Homo-oligomer: A and B are copies of this chain.
Amino acid sequence: MKAIALLRRHMPVLTWGRDYRAETLQADLLAALIVTIMLIPQSLAYAMLAGLPPEAGIYASILPILLYAVFGTSRALAVGPVAVVSLMTAAAVGEVAAQGTAGYAAAALTLAFLSGTMLLVMGLFRLGFVANFLSHTVVSGFITASGILIAASQLKSILGISAEGDTLPELLPSLLSHLPQTSLLTLLIGVVAVVFLFWVRKGGLKRALIARGFGPRLADIAGKAGPVAAVLVTTAVVWALGLDGWGVAIVGEVPQSLPPFTMPDLSTDLVGKLFLPALLISIIGFVESISVAQTLAAKKRQRIDPNQELIGLGAANLGAAFTGGYPVTGGFARSVVNYDAGAATPAAGAFTAVGLAIAAVAMTPLIHYLPKATLAATIIVAVLTLVDFSALKRSWRYSRADFAAVLATIVVTLGWGVEAGVSAGVILSLLLFLYKTSRPHVAEVGLVPGTEHFRNIHRHAVLTDPTLVTLRVDESLYFANSRHLEDLMLNRVAADCPVKNVVLMCTAVNEIDLSALEALEAINTRFRSMGVGFHLSEVKGPVMDRLKKTDFLAHLNGRVFLTQFQAWQALRPPMASAAR
A residues with a Cβ closer than 8 A to B are: 129, 132-138, 298, 391, 394-395, 397-399, 401-402, 429-430, 433-441, 443, 448, 451-453, 455-456, 459, 474-476, 478-484, 507-511, 513-515, 517-518, 526, 538, 540-542, 546, 549-550, 562-563, 565
Q: Are B514 and A395 in contact (CB under 8 A)?
A: yes
- A514 with B132: in contact, given A453-B452, A507-B508 (CB under 8 Å)? no
Q: Are A438 and B129 in contact (CB under 8 A)?
A: yes
Q: Among the interface residues A448, A456, A563, which one has the most CB atoms of the partner chain B within 10 A?
A: A563
- Which chain B positions have C-beta within 8 A of A132? 438, 479-484
Q: How far is the CB of A566 from chain B (nearest CB, A)?
A: 8
Q: Chain A interface mostly helix, strand, loop or mixed?
A: helix
Q: Are A136 and B515 in contact (CB under 8 A)?
A: yes
Cα separation A136 to B519 with both chains bound (whole Å)? 10
Cα separation A507 to B479 with both chains bound (whole Å)? 22
Cα separation A401 to B137 with both chains bound (whole Å)? 29
| Closest residue on chain B to residue A438 by CB atoms | B132
Cα separation A42 to B467 with both chains bound (whole Å)? 51
- Which chain B positions have C-beta within 8 A of A137? 479, 513-515
Q: Are A398 and B563 in contact (CB under 8 A)?
A: no
Q: How far is the CB of A47 from chain B (nearest CB, A)?
A: 32
| Closest residue on chain B to residue A435 by CB atoms | B129
| Closest residue on chain B to residue A478 by CB atoms | B433
- A436 with B507: in contact, given A398-B546, A517-B398, A541-B443 (CB under 8 Å)? no
Q: Are A549 and B438 in contact (CB under 8 A)?
A: no
Q: Are B540 and A474 in contact (CB under 8 A)?
A: yes
- Which chain B positions have C-beta within 8 A of A510? 440-441, 474-475, 508
- Which chain B positions have C-beta within 8 A of A475? 476, 510
Q: How far is the CB of A6 from chain B (nearest CB, A)?
A: 23
Q: How far is the CB of A441 from chain B (nearest CB, A)?
A: 6
Q: Are B507 and A136 in contact (CB under 8 A)?
A: no
Cα separation A562 to B515 with both chains bound (whole Å)? 33
Q: How far is the CB of A134 from chain B (nearest CB, A)?
A: 8
- Which chain B positions have C-beta within 8 A of A437? 437, 476
Q: Are A441 and B542 in contact (CB under 8 A)?
A: yes
Cα separation A118 to B60 with both chains bound (whole Å)? 49
Q: Are B429 and A479 in contact (CB under 8 A)?
A: yes
- Could you list some 16 contacts between A and B, CB below 8 A? A129-B435, A135-B479, A135-B480, A136-B515, A137-B514, A138-B479, A391-B514, A394-B514, A395-B514, A402-B513, A433-B513, A434-B434, A448-B562, A452-B453, A456-B541, A508-B508
Q: Are B398 and A514 in contact (CB under 8 A)?
A: yes
- Which chain B positions have C-beta within 8 A of A541? 443, 455-456, 459
Q: Are B546 and A513 in contact (CB under 8 A)?
A: no
Q: How far is the CB of A183 from chain B (nearest CB, A)?
A: 43
Q: What 4 pairs between A and B have smallest CB-CB spacing?
A: A135-B479, A452-B452, A474-B510, A136-B515
Q: Are A136 and B514 in contact (CB under 8 A)?
A: yes
Query: Which of B397, B453, B474 meets A549, CB within 8 Å?
Result: B397
Q: How far is the CB of A9 from chain B (nearest CB, A)?
A: 18
- A453 with B508: in contact, given A132-B483, A515-B137 (CB under 8 Å)? no
Cα separation A437 to B475 with both chains bound (whole Å)? 11
Cα separation A540 to B442 with both chains bound (whole Å)? 11
Cα separation A484 to B538 with both chains bound (whole Å)? 25
- Which chain B positions have C-beta within 8 A of A540? 441, 443, 474, 508
